[in-house]
Structure 1
Amino acid sequence: MTTHAATNPWERFGWMMAVVWLVFLVYPVMALLRSDAAPHWISIGWFAIVAFAVLYVVGFIRGMSDGTAVGDAPRSGQWVIFSALIVCALVSVPAEGGSALSFLPFIMSFASYGLTRLWHWITTIASLAVTTATVLLAPNGRSYASVLAIIAMVGVVNTVSTWLIIRSAQAEALGRELATSEGREAVARDVHDLIGHSLTVVRLKAQLARRLIDSDPDRAKAELEAIEELTAEAIAGVRSTVAGARIAALADQLAASREALRAADIEVRVSGEPDVLSPSQALTSGWILREATTNVLRHARASVVNVRIAPGRFEVHDDGVGSGGREGNGVRGMRERAAAAGAAFAVRSDAGTHVEVTW
């Protein structure tokens, strides 16, 4: 298991839910205790109940830890467990009779959460059909009407809950795609602005050097040296932008900003965890933190920087000299990034500079 899996409470303790639900196997157990079937069928029934319980819990744990999402195709072993659960239910029928229907809610849930969406529907419809036929056709079938109601309820709950889980996963994937797209657009904008400005200046200086190369060689040489410096700065800027894209994730940017500020003897205090923000919010916050860190290092003369992270909110506050109401390129860049992410942006210069982004 990965580190994430090891620290995910659902993956560590979710098996307990499977164990708790096994309490409903009390109905086939009671049926076996009252059964007047042949002894060998009763023995098979007891073995089937134990095997069913073990297989159900093992399959539940495997389904949570194999990295597949609800509705995705599972590992081949899950199909073997699913088939074995059905066999256990079938071999219990001679000893338990209609009480063997109590296995169906477990089989339905296993298919809904551990197999594909198609098998969710196949198992749910088949369970409803078998139980309905038992209620209508079997002797004393009406005594199992409550089981039919439970199976219908489980079918509805499984259908709705799995649909919500799948939609949530799709929304999260879309958020990651949007965050990636926003990051790429931001990098493209930075590179375009940087290269566009640098190449414009280089072109003008090259034209000037060409005109001066005969009449004023010394000045032409100076212009060529300036072109060399501008080119080096542009290359460094592109590398810096690409490096910034690589650490745009908020957790990584927090570590990078903390290291940069501490190197300047500036204390960093962080409250909140990056994972309370969505992927797109975290990406935007990472970019804004990066720019805010640059501004602090260049202008603030601060001794402490406070970073606060809360659901839908990201703040950076330093105790420096403030901007005096002036809004430079860095602040304008942060404002543009926040607007592109659909966030409200505010900056105040009271007892330092306070940058706040809210969604």
Structure 2
Amino acid sequence: MTTEGAPTARATTEVQSHTGPWERWGWLMAVVWMVFLVYPVLSLLRSDAATGWVALGWVALVSFAVVYVIGFVIGMRSEWGKPKPLVRNLFWVQIVCALATVPAIDSQALSFLPYLMSYASYGLRGAWHWVTTVGSIATATIVILVTGRFEYHFQILVIVLLIAVVNTVNAWLIGRSVDADRVRVELATSDERASIARDVHDLLGHTLTAVKLKAELAERLVDQDPERAKAELAQIVHLTGEAIAGVRSTVTGIRGAALSEQIQASTLALESAGLQVRVEGDPASLSPAQSLPAGWILRESTTNILRHAAARRVRITMAPGVVAIEDDGRGSRGPAGNGLRGMAERAAAAGGVLAVEDADDGGTRVSVTW
């Protein structure tokens, strides 16, 4: 008899997602390893025990197989280290079934030990693994010593020892893998939080800058030109509405606007501040995957120009795989702030390279190239 492969198969199913083929067909792994119950089956067929004990043995054997498969499937779908109560209860049922075969097959009931060990290691885990492993080794050893049938049970003792080593190593490796997955999830969550923070910074930084400029302009015009002041206030209402919608989209994971729409928004914001804007190229020359980060980078560049550049002219250029924003302002000075770092991260995440350099006319040129 040999069941060395059973624990390995059980370990493999534990780390699989419970969706897809494993959820539908993973139970076959438990059924396949039931073939090794042929040894207690043969023992029952050859048993000299009373008919009642043999009948009880058959019922117990069939019950053990059914309960093992059910527990296998449920345990496979449980979170590692957190078995469902039913999985624990079915473990005790298996032990009772194995003990019920003893009057009919005597010490051949040791054939159930590898199954109990694997079930405890991969279905129950933790302390259950160690208690069951040590208990199984002790049980096999004691039975051999008491019966004096060392040669007869030597094979099962070797299998129990091998299963103990394999289960211990596999359980440790699976635990490490689960811990690594948990860390990856935490890192992904942290990255997503940083991404959301970056999105909100990009969105609100741009909008609030434009709102501030328009509010200052409306304040100056309220007495001189009330109609134009009303128009500026109307644009403030429009911009704040867009900002609210943008924050909602960011929170729900729907990021950004189309590049062409962002070009229009940036042009409007820059021209409202008195800058001349020239747009060259076609937004369609960039792929959809490139347009999304390009729109965010254009938004951040617009905010930086309005805040820091003291520019008079801005040129936005688009070509296949390239988008550039160039101004004739004071040029880049000092260390990179959150805006530039955010743009660099976005460009890198989209497979592009961000470049911030001096423009030909003394200002700053920000470009992304894929």
How high is the TM-score relative to the length of structure 1? Answer: 0.66
Greater Cα radius of gyration, structure 1 or 2: 2
Distance 2:140 2:51 in 1: 26
One of 63, 66, 73 as aligned partner of 2:83: 73
Question: Could you tell me which residue of structure 1 aligns to residue 283 of structure 2?
Answer: 300
Give CA-to-partner distance per residue, 1:113-165, whole Å, 9 cap, x none: 22242212211111111112223332213431221221122222222323333
Aligned partner of residue 170 in structure 2, secondary structure: helix
One of 155, 170, 181 as aligned partner of 1:146: 155
Question: Could you tell me which residue of structure 2 aligns to residue 327 of structure 1?
Answer: 324
User: C-alpha displacement at 1:19, in angstroms?
Assistant: 0.9
Aligned partner of residue 319 in structure 2, secondary structure: coil
1:17 and 2:23 correspond: no
User: C-alpha displacement at 1:335, in angstroms?
Assistant: 4.0
Question: Could you tell me which residue of structure 1 aligns to residue 277 of structure 2?
Answer: none
Question: Could you tell me which residue of structure 2 aligns to residue 262 of structure 1?
Answer: none
Question: Could you tell me which residue of structure 1 aligns to residue 243 of structure 2?
Answer: 237
Alignment of 1:238-317 (within 5 A): 238-247=244-253, 294=259, 299-301=282-284
Letter of the 2:81 partner, please give it.
Answer: G
1:97 and 2:121 correspond: no
Aligned partner of residue 70 in structure 1, secondary structure: coil
Distance 1:18 1:355 in 2: 54
Alignment of 1:84-123 (within 5 A): 84-123=93-132
How high is the TM-score relative to the length of structure 2? Answer: 0.65
Aligned partner of residue 327 in structure 1, secondary structure: strand
Aligned partner of residue 301 in structure 1, secondary structure: helix
Aligned partner of residue 37 in structure 1, secondary structure: coil
**Identical-pair percentage:** 44
Listed as ranges, the gaps of 5+ residues in structure 1 are 249-286, 308-320, 349-353
Letter of the 2:197 partner, please give it.
Answer: A
Distance 1:100 1:324 in 2: 71
Verify the 8 A CA contact 1:335 1:345 in the aligned structure 2: no
Letter of the 2:42 partner, please give it.
Answer: M
User: C-alpha displacement at 1:50, in angstroms?
Assistant: 1.4
Alignment of 1:165-176 (within 5 A): 165-176=174-185
Distance 2:24 2:38 in 1: 26
Verify the 8 A CA contact 1:206 1:224 in the aligned structure 2: no
Question: Could you tell me which residue of structure 2 aligns to residue 156 of structure 1?
Answer: 165
User: C-alpha displacement at 1:8, in angstroms?
Assistant: 1.1
Distance 2:166 2:107 in 1: 23
Question: Could you tell me which residue of structure 2 aligns to residue 45 of structure 1?
Answer: 57
Listed as ranges, the gaps of 5+ residues in structure 2 are 1-16, 264-281, 291-317, 327-338, 355-367
Closer/same/farther in 2, CA of residues 50 and 201 from structure 1, 3 Å limit: closer
Closer/same/farther in 2, CA of residues 83 and 30 from structure 1, 3 Å limit: same
Question: Number of aligned pairs?
Answer: 285
Distance 1:47 1:324 in 2: 71
Larger RCO (CA within 8 A; separation ≥ 6)? 2
Larger CA deviation: 222-231 vs 140-149: 222-231
Question: Could you tell me which residue of structure 2 aligns to residue 270 of structure 1?
Answer: none
Aligned partner of residue 352 in structure 2, secondary structure: strand
Question: Could you tell me which residue of structure 1 aligns to residue 14 of structure 2?
Answer: none
Aligned partner of residue 42 in structure 1, secondary structure: helix
